[in-house]
Amino acid sequence: MVSFKFFLLLCSCAVLVLSLLDDASEIVESLTGTPRGWTQIGEPAGDQVLVLQVAMDQPLLAEFHQLINNISTPGHPSYGNHLTKREVDVWTQPASEASDEIITWLKSEGVDEDTIKVSGHWITFNVIVSTANALLDTKFRYYRQKDTTVIRTPQYSVPFNLRNMIETIQPTTRFGSPKLQIRLDSDEQPLQISSSTLTTYNETFCNTTVTPACIRGLYQMSEFTPSANDTMLGISGFDGQVYYVDDLNMFISNLNPYLMGSLNITSINGGIANAEFNVNTSAEGNLDVQYAAALTGGTPITYYSTGGQAPIDPDLDQPLAANGTNEPYLNQLQYLIGLDDSMLPGVLSTSYGEDEESVPYNYAVQVCNLFAQLTARGVSIIFSSGDTGVGSACRSNDGRNTLQYSPSFPATCPFVTAVGGTYGINPEIAADFTSGGFSNYFPRPSWQDGTIYEYLVNLGDTNQGYFNVSGRAYPDVSAQSVRYLVWNDGEPDFVWGTSCAAPTFAAIISNLNSIRIKQGLPRLGFLNPWLYGSGNQGFTDITLGASRGCSGVDIYTGQPAGKIENASWAAGSGWDPVSGWGTPNFAQLATMMT
């Protein structure tokens, strides 16, 4: 028989173990080293203020994602029954006890209770560096990349008993910043073309210069006359990018015969609402707004100027303002998710991206899940696929430096529709800079299974070992991306990149929405299940062209990178990783979807 004293000893040991577990910490995220292009330059003062966000676990997430697929699949009984904000909040809420336990931990470690805010599954709080170091068992430092300086840490931990409740805490391990997917053309020759040529579809002219008339003619949208409607189109602006009204007015007066809808700018997290002209901060904004306005006519457009890229100076003895957190995606998405249903755009176009491997996995998943919340409410999320071809860094960042293709995020998120680039007319050819391939973070969704399995079978051993055969494949579709005519600082200019393709495709989807709403039908919302079902029948297959990349030099930092000989994805019959399903035929899509 076990003695009473021995029983008490066992109980004491159990209590001690539980106590030790409560005090123990577990690593949440850990980088293998300082990310490429960044240099550690010093330590912030202990009283420097940080603004941190905790993402809590969402226990109903898998069921929520399945519901989104049902809502977005034509033929399903739930197709088109988009959720309300309140319904999405229920599906995405954290476990009931998580918020209380995490807040109790924060307060016990010295976080000011007055700064703690809870919104959905996010907890935001202010904390000084010295407290943050102790709180997360880490060491925050200054890091610099070119003109950007941030406070970050390569690793952090939380108490063992809270680990399953916490998905990520940011900004911590998130170093990268969104890159523009646009380039100015070096052609500085003055534009001397008749006004009739600029406003009509001429194959010879449109083969080398893209205008709204070229897009309408090439993609069978000439017979569609835009009219005033309530289908809002949203455009994302990061990194200080803005558009200029004077340039827009000159563009419209020269190139577009249709009326223009209302145009608003919304500043998020200190985003720039107006500024003096600077070609480095206007090319993207001008392109996006000029083509969205010209192609959608009377559709209201909202430009979401989101702060979060402002550099900070280690010599400044002042708190780190909220707009220095360098987290534009989170800031923008949390703002949009908080809007009433009537205030959401029907389509959101974004022309930014970065190497997927430069984004911490947990952070990428959180951002992707926020995109999912918007799609559940009927928003079509459109992203440029990127301009690095098969990749730029082309080495794994897990410490092993394995040669591999480098996919682009957020284009790899399954809940966004990624748009690749093309050029030329008769034939239209896949652009060699188009980013595409297979995600290393996100598994292939069920709606891609049949298509991608067939593609991989036909691919055989080509590119074997350089990509994840089980990953989400992208791009989904394509559009023109070379020599778009825009107005910058009162003068015509040419730009190229998949940044051109995203607003073009977004405008086409917005026009389809305007037709559907007039017919009493819901907005298209999340497009991908439809695209990989019957929707691809409304696209022109692109069978010529191939991507390139992995040249041995990182195009963003100029540093040595992985070199893979003959790295490429080729366009071919059906879906492929350089042109997706091809380019849209608006007339056919309008017949199919309205």
Any domain includes 15: no
145: confidence class by pLDDT, cuts 50, 70, 90? confident
Any domain includes 343: yes
384 with 257, same domain: the answer is: yes
Judge contact between 219 and 419, C-beta under 8 A: no
Judge contact between 502 and 349, C-beta under 8 A: yes
How many domains would you assign to the chain? 2
Any domain includes 9: no
Any domain includes 1: no
380 with 512, same domain: the answer is: yes
Question: Is 574 one of the annotated binding-site residues?
Answer: yes
Catalytic residue among 499, 514, 547, 579: 499
Element (H, E) at 584: strand 583-584
Residue 288 among the catalytic residues: yes
- Which strands sit side by side in the sheet containing 491-496, from one edge to the other? 183-184, 491-496, 484-488
Any domain includes 66: no
Catalytic residue among 284, 357, 387, 493: 284
Residue 80: CB atoms within 10 A of its CB come to: 16
- Write down the pLDDT at residue 181: 56
Question: What's the length of the chain?
Answer: 594
Question: Is 520 one of the annotated binding-site residues?
Answer: no
Residue 496: CB atoms within 10 A of its CB come to: 23
Judge contact between 145 and 55, C-beta under 8 A: no
Confidence check: pLDDT of 311 > 90: no
Any domain includes 72: no
Find the DSSP H helices in 122-241.
129-135, 195-198, 203-206, 212-218
Judge contact between 475 and 579, C-beta under 8 A: yes
413: confidence class by pLDDT, cuts 50, 70, 90? very high
Confidence check: pLDDT of 13 > 50: no
Question: Is 57 one of the annotated binding-site residues?
Answer: no
276: confidence class by pLDDT, cuts 50, 70, 90? low
Pair of tokens at residue 426: 């008769």
Residue 384 among the catalytic residues: no
Question: Is 541 one of the annotated binding-site residues?
Answer: yes
Q: Region 27-47: what's the mean pLDDT? A: 90
249 with 109, same domain: the answer is: no
Any domain includes 40: yes
Where residue 423 sits, what CATH number does that domain have?
3.40.50.200
150 with 237, same domain: the answer is: no
User: Cis link prior to 475 (omega < 30° from 0)?
Assistant: yes
287 with 413, same domain: the answer is: yes
529 SS3 class: helix
307 with 452, same domain: the answer is: yes
262 with 369, same domain: the answer is: yes
Judge contact between 323 and 264, C-beta under 8 A: no
Beta-carbon contacts of residue 481 (< 8 Å; ≥ 6 apart): 420, 421, 422, 423, 431, 434, 496, 497, 498, 499, 500, 501
- Write down the pLDDT at residue 307: 82
Residue 29 among the catalytic residues: no
Q: Region 168-180: what's the mean pLDDT? A: 81
153 with 199, same domain: the answer is: no
- Write down the pLDDT at residue 18: 43
265 with 133, same domain: the answer is: no
* pLDDT tens sequence across 516-565: 999 999 999 999 999 999 999 999 999 999 999 999 998 877 889 999 99
193 with 162, same domain: the answer is: no
Shortest CA distance to 154 belongs to which of 42, 34, 270, 50?
34
Any domain includes 433: yes
Residue where one domain finishes, among candidates 149, 170, 191: 170
The pLDDT mean for the chain works out to 89
Pair of tokens at residue 13: 């040991």
510 with 544, same domain: the answer is: yes
Residue where one domain finishes, among candidates 142, 170, 198: 170
Residue where one domain finishes, among candidates 141, 170, 199: 170
425 SS3 class: coil
247 with 127, same domain: the answer is: no
**Domain of 149, in residue numbers:** 24-59+94-170
